[in-house]
Amino acid sequence: MTRIVVLPHVELCPEGAVIEAEPGKSICTSLLENDIPIEHACELSCACTTCHVIVREGFDALEPAEDDEEDLLDKAWGLEPNSRLSCQAIVNEMPLVVEIPRYTINMVSEGKKK
């Protein structure tokens, strides 16, 4: 198992978390399996940016993003050089530290925000 440290997020994970993830699964799947309800409007199909995360540590150990992911990331809110779509970033043996951005570009949830 691989350790993923999730930095605090006001709504999804206020205290932050340390989870164990199975190598070969996506960061998104690993978060969801550990009760961290990251948005994933396209059901993990690399068709939106709602599962955008910033990989604070371990970014270089991940396989590079493919063109489809790179194109979508250009539309993500709060894009940084170490941003990934968590549905596409596959966990390996290297521990990770990830930050879930405060906002996503998600038409469905935008109407729910206060």
**Structure tokens, 76:** 């993500």
Q: Kindly report the pTM of this predicted structure.
A: 0.90
Q: How confident is the model at residue 2 (pLDDT cuts 50, 70, 90)?
A: very high
**Could you tell me if 3 and 18 are in contact, meaning their C-beta atoms sit under 8 angstroms apart?**
yes
Residue 38: CA atoms inside 13 Å, Cβ hemisphere, count? 30
Place of tokens 């599962």: 51
State the Rg of the chain over Cα: 13
pLDDT at 25 over 80: yes
Give the pLDDT confidence of 51-84 residue by residue, as tens digits: 999 999 999 999 999 999 999 999 998 999 999 9
> What band does 106 get if pLDDT is binned at 50, 70 and 90?
low
Domains in the chain: boundaries = 2-100
Q: What pLDDT does residue 114 have?
A: 39
Whole-number mean pLDDT of the chain?
Answer: 92
Query: Taking residues 21-43, what's their average pLDDT?
Result: 96
Please check the confidence at residue 112 and state whether its pLDDT lies above 70.
no
**Does 2-100 carry CATH code 3.10.20.30?**
yes
Total number of residues shown for the chain: 114
Whether 4 and 23 have beta carbons less than 8 Å apart is answered as: no
> How high is the pLDDT of residue 54?
98
Res 109 pLDDT > 70: no
Residue 45 has pLDDT above 60, yes or no: yes
